[in-house]
């Protein structure tokens, strides 16, 4: 399970409201996966990361009120106004999740991420933006984007010796983000025998927000590979196996964990929730430690 899988599950599980339209931006300079996963031909569409990066070079327009009818047509009921520029560059996946996919080509993706990092204003025209920056190499455009986030989730496997060493090395940099007002937390993958407190101690006090299960079904789901059974015999077998409605996703361990993490991040700002301090926008960066020792310079 990687960063893009978590970012997709997180965006898809974000608490909904009439004006909360989560958008997943795949800003991975090493090349994207979303287009390949979901069969999106970026060469024959005017949407995606390249389009967003090109638009970012010009000043973002002032917010334009959007009619309730227009939002109803988009599947959002009860909204009278919203910021729309970011959504204009997103592709809607089956199920309704809106994504801004990156090109597969690392050179093309890298140029687009660099351009967006220098002009990140359009990311603030969305209500909830989940940004997948992949491995934030020190000094890279992805690392620069992290500095514009309100909440940062770091995906790590502290049960692996190499991951643990990298987590220890980059912890002071991540802690500096926290000191600057950014919410920073860890999402643990793999079988880690250490307690949350022990992991947090290694990571300069950064809290553990989630432990993600090994879940091939959930990973296949976010890649667009999972389909509910259709034949009655298969549906009965699925129900008997899981004791759950085969059409529901609540029983999928990855989705359940991502939903809890999304609700936690949402609580930090009150966005999409009737309680707490309301904010106009939130960027959520999802990153992973860079295996290179230069990770100590990651923002």
pLDDT, tens digit only, all 299 positions of the chain = 688 999 999 998 888 766 677 899 999 999 999 999 999 998 888 899 999 999 988 765 544 444 555 445 444 444 433 445 888 899 998 878 899 999 999 999 999 999 999 988 888 877 788 999 987 766 778 888 888 888 889 888 877 777 777 777 777 777 778 887 888 888 988 777 888 898 888 787 889 999 988 888 788 888 887 665 555 665 565 555 555 554 555 667 888 899 999 998 888 754 443 333 333 334 456 666 543 321 222 22
Give me the DSSP letters along 207-275.
PEEEE----HHHHHHHTT------SHHHHHHHHHHHSS-TT-STT-HHHHHHHHHHHHHHHHHTTTSSS
Q: Which residue has the tokens 């020792």?
A: 293
The separation between CA 250 and the C-alpha centre of its own chain, rounded to angstroms, equals 19
Q: Is 119 exposed, middle or buried (0-12, 13-18, 19+ CB in 10 A)?
A: middle
| Structure-block tokens of residue 263 | 């609700």
**Would the pTM of this model clear 0.85, i.e. be above it?**
no
Please give the biggest Cα pair distance in the chain.
56
DSSP 87: G
In degrees to the nearest 10, what's the CA dihedral of 285, 290, 295, 299?
Answer: -10
- Is 129 within 8 Å of 23 (Cβ atoms)? yes
- Span between the terminal Cα atoms of the chain, in Å: 23
Domains of the chain in sequence order: 3-297 (3.40.50.300)
Run of H or E including 201: helix 196-202
């Amino acid at each position: 399970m990687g960063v893009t899988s978590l970012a997709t599950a997180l965006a898809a599980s974000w608490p909904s409201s009439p004006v909360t339209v989560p958008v997943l931006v795949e800003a991975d300079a090493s090349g994207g996966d979303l287009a390949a996963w979901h069969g999106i031909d970026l060469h024959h569409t005017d949407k995606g990361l390249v389009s967003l990066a090109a638009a970012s070079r010009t000043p973002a327009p002032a917010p334009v009120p959007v009619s309730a009818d227009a939002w109803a047509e988009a599947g959002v009921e009860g909204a009278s106004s919203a910021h729309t520029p970011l959504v204009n560059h997103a592709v809607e996946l089956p199920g309704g999740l809106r994504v801004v996919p990156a090109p597969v080509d690392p050179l093309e993706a890298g140029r687009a991420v660099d351009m967006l990092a220098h002009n990140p204003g359009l990311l603030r025209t969305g209500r909830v933006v989940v940004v997948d920056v992949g491995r934030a190499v020190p000094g890279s455009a992805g690392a620069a984007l992290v500095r514009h986030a309100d909440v940062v989730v770091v995906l790590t496997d502290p049960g692996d010796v190499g991951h643990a060493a990298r987590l220890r090395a980059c912890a002071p940099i991540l802690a500096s983000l926290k000191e600057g007002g950014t919410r920073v937390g860890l999402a643990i993958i793999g079988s880690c025998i250490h307690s949350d407190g022990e992991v947090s101690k290694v990571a300069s006090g950064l809290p553990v927000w989630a432990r993600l299960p090994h879940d091939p079904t959930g990973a296949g789901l976010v890649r667009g590979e999972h389909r509910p059974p259709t034949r009655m015999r298969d549906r009965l077998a699925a129900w008997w196996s899981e004791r759950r409605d085969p059409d529901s996703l609540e029983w999928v361990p990855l989705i359940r964990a991502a939903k809890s993490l999304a609700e936690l991040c949402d609580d930090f700002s009150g966005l999409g929730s009737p309680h707490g301090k309301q904010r106009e926008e939130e960027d959520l960066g999802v990153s992973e430690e860079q295996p290179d020792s230069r990770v100590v310079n990651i923002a």
